Chain A
Amino acid sequence: MGKSICSKCEGEFKDEAGYLAHECAKTGFKPTDPAHQGKRFAKVQEAALARGKARKGSK
C-alpha cells in the first residue's frame, strides 16, 4: 500500500493511521470527526440512520 493523502489539505501520510490521526489544515478537524465533512454531512447521517431504522423495523 502506498501513501495516504488528505484531499482537503493535501497532506501526505505514510499510512492510513497517520491520515486518520491528522488534524486537517483545511477543516481544522480529524477525518474521524463528522465536522471534517462539513455542515451538510449531518443531513447525510440523519438520512442513513433513518433508512437503517426503517429496514430494521420492517424485518
Chain B
Amino acid sequence: MPLILFLVISAIYLAVNAKVANAGRQVLSLERELAALERENAELVTRLAEETSPDRMMARAMALGFAPAAPDQVEYLVVDGYGGAPEFVAPLPSASAPEEGGLLSPAYTETLGDWLTRLLGGVEAAP
C-alpha cells in the first residue's frame, strides 16, 4: 500500500512538473512571438507615418492637380451645431500595464508541495 501511494504521488508530481515545463515553453514561445509582433507593428506604424507625412501628401495632392487655396477662393459657411473637428488625443503608451500585473499566474508555477499545502490547509489560491 505505501508503495502504491508513493507511486501515485510520484506520478502526480511528474505530471505537474511536465505541465509546468510545457506552460513555460509556451510562455517563452509567446514572448518571442509578442516581441516579433511588436516590432512588426512598430515598423508598420512608422511606414504609415512616412507614407502620410505632410511632404508626401502635398506632393501627391499636387500630382493629382490640386493646389493650395488662396484666401479669396474659400467660401465660409455656418453649419448649425458643428463645433469643428474634435481635438486629437494621443493613444496611451504601449505596454502600460502595471509591473506586477504582467507576471504569470501562480497556478502555472505552483509546485506539488504548494498544492498539497494549499489543499490540506484550505488556503485559497492566489488569483
* B and A form one assembly: no
List residues of A whose CB falls within 8 A of some B CB. Answer: none
List residues of B whose CB falls within 8 A of some A CB. Answer: none
